[in-house]
Amino acid sequence: MPYTYDYPHPAVTVDIVIFTIVDDDFKVLLIQRDIKPFEGMWALPGGFVGIDESLRRAAWRELKEETGVHAAFLEQLGAFGHPDRDPRERVITVTYYALIPAERLKLKAATDAREARLFSMKDLPALAFDHAKILGRAHLKVKDKIDEPIVALQLLPASFTLSDLQRVHERILGTSIDKRNFRKKILALDLISPTGEERRDGPHRPAKLYRARDPADVPYR
C-alpha cells in the first residue's frame, strides 16, 4: 500500500524534550533506541506525525506514550530540518519541550526503545541524530522562560515550600539565589498562597506549604 506523490516529500516527526526535577536535580527524559539508525544510543522521545494529526496532538500522543502523562506544560521549541540529520530519509522534526513534576512521571519505554530513563542535565550521554543541539536549545529556552515565575510551578506538586520553589529556579539556571530576595520577590507577585499546612522532614524547623493562588496557572494537574 504505497503512498505516491508527484514530488518528493520529507517525513515529519515530533521530538519532545521532557524536563523534570528529581532529588534537587534538573533532568531530562531520554530513551535508548532499539532500532537503527543509532541503535543502542540515547535519544529524545518522539515519533512520526500522523497524516491527520496536528503537530501539537502528535506531541501529546508521544508524551503520553512515554510517560503516561496526559496533561502538562508543553510548548513548541522549533523545527529542525538539516537534510542529513537522519541517514534513512529526509526527516524534518518539530520539537516541543515539557515541564512535568517528577511524581507524575510513569516511565514506559515505547515499542521502538529498550528503556526510558531520566538523565541529569549535568551528566548527559552522547545523543543520536541532532538531539544534543535540540536539547541545548530547549535548556536555553527554559532558562529564558523561568523568569516568568509561573513556569517553575509546573515542575512542582500541588503544594510545595518556598525552598522547593527556589531550588527549581537554582537547578534550572545553574546559579544560587539569595533566599531573602527570592522570597520577597515571589511573595510580592502574589502568585502563591499558604495552604496553612506545614511539612516537617528533618531536624529543623517545619516549612510552610504553599500552593498556586490561581489554579489556572497550573492547569495541567
Partner DNA sequence: GCAAAAGTGTTTGAGGTACACCCATGC
Partner DNA sequence: GCATGGGTGTACCTCAAACACTTTTGC
Q: Which CB, 85 or 211, lies closer to DNA? A: 211
- In the list DNA, a copy of itself, none, the entry touching 163 (Cβ below 5 to 8 angstroms by class) is DNA
Q: How far is the CB of 19 from a copy of itself (least distance, A)?
A: 19
- In the list a copy of itself, DNA, none, the entry touching 52 (Cβ below 5 to 8 angstroms by class) is a copy of itself
Distances (CA, A) of 141 to 11, 88, 212, 215: 26, 29, 23, 24
Cα R_g (the chain), whole angstroms: 19
Strand partners, 211: 193
Joined together, the cell numbers standing for residue 75 give 510548548
SS3 of residue 168 by DSSP: helix
DSSP 83: T
Binders of a copy of itself among residues 82 to 101 (CB under 8 A) are: 82-83, 90, 92, 94
Report the alpha-carbon distance of residue 25 to residue 177 in Å, rounded. 16
Of 39, 53, 75, 115, which is the active-site residue?
Answer: 115
Q: Residue 73 phi/psi, 5° resolution?
A: -70, 120
Q: Which CB, 88 or 205, lies closer to DNA? A: 205
Chain-centroid distance of CA 195 in Å reads 27
- In the list DNA, a copy of itself, none, the entry touching 185 (Cβ below 5 to 8 angstroms by class) is DNA
Q: How far is the CB of 209 from DNA (least distance, A)?
A: 8
Joined together, the cell numbers standing for residue 109 give 519505554
Joined together, the cell numbers standing for residue 212 give 498556586
Report the alpha-carbon distance of residue 104 to residue 69 in Å, rounded. 7
Report the alpha-carbon distance of residue 73 to residue 22 in Å, rounded. 17
SS3 of residue 132 by DSSP: helix
- In the list a copy of itself, DNA, none, the entry touching 103 (Cβ below 5 to 8 angstroms by class) is none
- In the list a copy of itself, DNA, none, the entry touching 183 (Cβ below 5 to 8 angstroms by class) is DNA
Q: How far is the CB of 104 from DNA (least distance, A)?
A: 22
The yes-or-no answer on residue 170 being catalytic is no
Report the alpha-carbon distance of residue 59 to residue 116 in Å, rounded. 17
- Provide the mask over 36-75, with x wherever binding to a copy of itself is found by CB under 8 A and - wherever it is not: ------------xx-xxxxx--------------------
Binders of a copy of itself among residues 12 to 41 (CB under 8 A) are: 12
Residue numbers at the binding site for DNA (CB under 7 A): 161-163, 178-181, 183-185, 188, 198, 200, 202-208
Binding interface with a copy of itself (CB under 8 A): 1-12, 48-49, 51-55, 76, 78-83, 90, 92, 94
Active-site annotation, residues? 115
